[in-house]
Amino acid sequence: MPGPDRVQVFGRPGGGGWRPSRPPRVNPDAGALRGLGRYVENVFRSFTTGRGSTAGTGITDVPPVLDAVRILVLVVVLITVPLAEPHLGSGADGIGVAVSLGVATVSWVVWLLARRRARLAIAALAVMGAAGGVLAGLSPLSTAIAVGCVVTSTVGARLNPETSLAITAETVAAFLAAALATGAPTETLLGYPLTFIGLWAFGLSRHAFLLRAEQAERMLAESRRAHEAETQAAALGERARIAREIHDVLAHSLAAVSVNLQAAEGLLATLPAGSPELAKAIECIGRAGVFTREGLADARRAIMALRDDAAPLADQLSALAQEYRADGDVAIDFTVTGVPRPVAAEAALTAYRTAQEALTNARKHAPGQPVRLSLEFAAEEIAVRVVNPAPVVTAGGPLAVSGGQYGLTGLRERAALSGGTLTAGPADGEWRVGLRIPA
């Protein structure tokens, strides 16, 4: 029978089966909506009539208390009906009471047990309604009416109007037939059918309310999802706008600096040669031009990461290794393990910056030494490792004293913000830098 995760089709022609509905608490974190989600869940639970869970059958778990109440009602009927007039087996009416009570009991038990078979449960309700109507007509001064009341209220709340109306009409007709045959008083002939019909109408109203509550909760969930999609689209649009602005500013500024450095280098080249200071100035200007071009290239990579159209991470690291190989003073071995896959922009940028800083440090402190750069794709993360021979204290090229000693610190902070970890230090005569980051 249906439970908190299922609801009967209301007003849909044909059949009496239950259709699956969405989970009752689809929006548990929506602040003011949280109370409604809990309320709808409680409404579902209060109307649950089945146990077990099978996809596509409309059957879900119910609170044990509800089953206990149903069993208690059945036990009360079984105990009190035989004590009322007519007694079981006493004349034709007594035999009728015994037969109808037996059929109602069996169908009630089948209904309670037919949790994973919706059609069988509906058939059991139909049989129980007919037997309950006859039982109430033959024994109007007992608790026999409880059987018909349970049937009509249940079908009204659980089945579509056509099916529930048919079972309710069957229950009323069975009662009237038995009551007229036994000569029941007029007030009984009127009161019992009105009770059955009233409980059926009450079930219909509760069913309609349940559907409205479910529809309202679904609409709230859809509105929340739409709002989240709009927020995400706006954030992506704003990120793209910022990327364009940064690109325009840096491209203009760094390009202007590069042009001026080239002009200064050309002017200095026209001066008489032979001055050590002049040669040093030309060297510094040349190095500044290289740094400017590299900075512009790095800025473009960062902009591409912001715009989510960067090249795959493996290709970026391969290009980075090629750049360092082109300098001629570093032998780099680049390897990729695992199955390459797309990586989020922030994680890819963190991995690229880590490799770039580690290669720069290797050039500074261990010039000319071989470097191993590796990229590993694991199940839930990526790992970047840069390994080079540990630098000798007296070693170091012209860049050894450059930098502010904050490169690795900044990389650790960047890795932590992305949920990753960065390790750096000597081991077995080597200097190792390792980054692991979820991706």
211 pLDDT more than 90: no
pLDDT in tens, 132-162: 999 999 988 889 999 999 999 888 888 888 8
Of the two residues 360 and 219, the one the predictor is more confident about is 219
pLDDT-based confidence at residue 329 (cuts at 50, 70, 90): low
Lowest mean pLDDT among 76-80, 239-243, 335-339, 435-439: 239-243
Q: 184 to each of 6, 24, 93, 131, 191, how far by Cα in Å?
A: 41, 46, 12, 17, 11
| pLDDT band for position 62 (cuts 50, 70, 90) | low
Residue 63 contacts residue 71 (beta carbons within 8 Å):
no
Q: How far apart are CA 137 and CA 190, in angstroms?
A: 12
**Segment 354-375 mean pLDDT:** 87
Confidence of residue 18 (pLDDT cuts 50, 70, 90): very low
In whole angstroms, give the CA distance from residue 402 to residue 405.
9
Q: From its phi and psi, is residue 429 left (phi > 0), alpha (psi between -120 and 50) or beta?
A: left
CATH topology of domain 311-439: Heat Shock Protein 90 (3.30.565)
Query: Does the pLDDT at position 377 exceed 90?
Result: yes
Bridge partner residues of 333 (DSSP)? 372
CA distance readout (Å), 386 to 17, 102, 370: 63, 82, 11
The pLDDT of residue 345: 78
Average pLDDT rounded to a whole number, residues 293-319:
74
Q: Decide which of 202 and 399 is more confident.
A: 202
The percent of residues above 90 in pLDDT, for the chain, comes to 26
* pLDDT tens digits, 250-261: 666 676 677 777
Q: What is the pLDDT of residues 73-125, one digit of tens each?
A: 889 999 988 888 888 878 888 899 999 999 999 999 998 888 778 889 899 99
C-alpha dihedral sign at 396, 402, 385, 435: positive
| Range scoring the smallest mean pLDDT among 11-15, 71-75, 397-401 | 11-15
The percent of residues above 70 in pLDDT, for the chain, comes to 74
> Given this model, what pLDDT does residue 308 score?
57
Answer yes or no: are the C-beta atoms of 111 and 122 closer than 8 Å.
no
- pLDDT band for 432, please (50, 70, 90 cuts): very high
Mean pLDDT of 311-337: 84
**Top mean-pLDDT range of 51-60, 203-212, 286-295:** 203-212
> Confidence band (pLDDT; 50, 70, 90) for 52?
very low
3-state secondary structure 366-384: CCCCCEEEEEEECCCEEEE
Over the chain, what is the mean pLDDT? 77
Identify the CA nearest to 22 among candidates 48, 34, 39, 40.
40
**Domain range list for the chain:** 6-227, 311-439
pLDDT at 433 (0 to 100): 94
